[in-house]
Amino acid sequence: MRNFIIETALSLGFDACGIAKADALSEDAAYLQSWLKAGYHGNMKYLERNFDKRVNPTLLVPGCQSIIAVLMNYYPPEKQPSDAPRIAKYAYSKTDYHKVIKTKLNELENAIGEKFGKDCFNNEVQHIFVDSAPLLERRWAEKAGLGWIGKNKQLIHPGLGSYVFIGILMMNAETEYDSPIKNRCGNCRKCIDSCPTQALSEERLDANRCISYLNIECKTTIPEEFQTKLCNYAVGCDICADVCPWNRKWTQANRHSELETASTIKKWNSNQWKNLTQEDFESAFSESAIGYVGYDKLKENIAILMKPKGNKKV
């Protein structure tokens, strides 16, 4: 069964697949509780909800015995014009990656069901997830042997780097499982030292200071102290990934036609982003991950990036 699942996942276009036994994550539960208590999650209150399910997949999907984790490389072959407000690479594609991965996971589920029986899955509840449930996806990918969680708090695959989407398929059947691999960050601190807002440390990520949080999740205007430290990012941030030696050494552009870079990303310059209208936004990004940010938030971010610098009155 394990070999069939992995071979089928790869044939469907995923770049890696592994399987972990579904167990409660007691160590993660203790850490997450202290992290939330310290307020490092900012105003992402949804992280406080469904805590028990978040750290125990058998409560999220009753009867779950196995977690199938898949990876999909999203590193884009193109770059933005140098003067454009920067968009994190995960949002380059014109199609929302959630839909792309869920479609493939549905195909994987159908193949497993046809081979081993439909009762391999709990069809009474949702059991396919892509950033859409109280689930610690990176931890499960790590347990499935697909990499380690680095000091930048991202999953790092030794052959793909960290520019990967993670998809999860929860199965109500046992199989053989993959083993975690050793953390290979060593003494490297490039991600920590390169973060312009000091959001990272060896122990934790403080979302309140993270550029990706500030320009996407933060519900208020970006605090003044961080407005000059955004490094021209309007959506997300890739700094801690770009400096990672594992990305610099191994990362190659993805070959997934479903993740084709949007023409707006490839062509728009600073003026086109600055003059973005609601109609432009809906036309260009309704099917894109950028749509999640929202028009008003994106316009506010761009305005902050384009504010005149160094013109304070003395």
Q: Which residues are catalytic?
A: 131
Neighbours of 29 (CB within 10 A): 16
The answer to whether 138 touches 155, Cβ cutoff 8 Å, is: yes
Task: Read off the tokens for 161.
Answer: 């780097």
| Residue that is written with structure tokens 């086109």 in the block | 272
- The candidate with the shortest Cα–Cα distance to 237, out of 213, 220, 259, 221, is 213
Rounded alpha-carbon distances, angstroms, from residue 265 to 76, 165, 247: 11, 19, 22
Residues with Cβ within 8 Å of 46's Cβ and at least 6 positions away in sequence, in order, are: none
The answer to whether 202 touches 192, Cβ cutoff 8 Å, is: yes
